[in-house]
Structure 1
Amino acid sequence: MGRFTYDSSVSADFDDRELAHLQAVIVAKIRRGERFTFTWKIDISLGGGRTSVYLYPGVKLAFRYEGGHTPQLNPSWLRMLTDAANSPQGLHVLDEPAGRTPDQLARDADRRNHPVEA
């Protein structure tokens, strides 16, 4: 589980893979000087509801990952998240598109190239 922190005061936990995709979209937009909102749902175990933050160049953000490797990014998912970020509703968490993820494809290719001997 990774953690997104906004302005040292608001934070939320996301799966590492999900957070890596959100970070790529957020950083790309901020580098271009764009301003937008980012909204996520709060888990029912924490009381439910949702949080929205306004992202802009200069805001303090932190992305902390639990895992030690950087996941391969899924271009289709990045496009979906970017489209959401560019909409009037702003960036919000979307499920990864169905199908094999790049990480799964890489693991499958690795297994084909280095089969386990019985």
Structure 2
Amino acid sequence: LRALARRGAADPRASSTVLEAGDLRLDYRAGRCTRGEVEVALSRREQALLGALLARAGSVVRKDDLLRQVWGAEFNGDPNIVEVYVGYLRKKLDTPFGRHSIETVRGVGYRFAIDERAS
């Protein structure tokens, strides 16, 4: 029950094993993430964070919601871990491809912006 509570109702894996936005595809079952035709290696935590953002692509996701969903309600570490992992995702998914998919919404959280040109 604790594991279910930590995951929360908004867990994207509960409804779908594949999430897509533009040319980005995250397949939980296969444990794969691709940007176009290029496979991008992500840790499980990075996959969970990306999944939380992709599940609500185009909408702002509050930082504390990401913290609770990805790290769990009982997480006692530094909440800046969200920024650290968003940085990891940007380095892997945006920088090599000349993109800016993950936007910071100052004082609120993050938004995964859908690049229509990449669809």
Instruction: Confirm or deny a common fold (TM above 0.5).
Output: no
Higher Rg: 1
TM-score by length of structure 1 reads 0.29
Query: Which has more helix, going by share of residues?
Result: 2
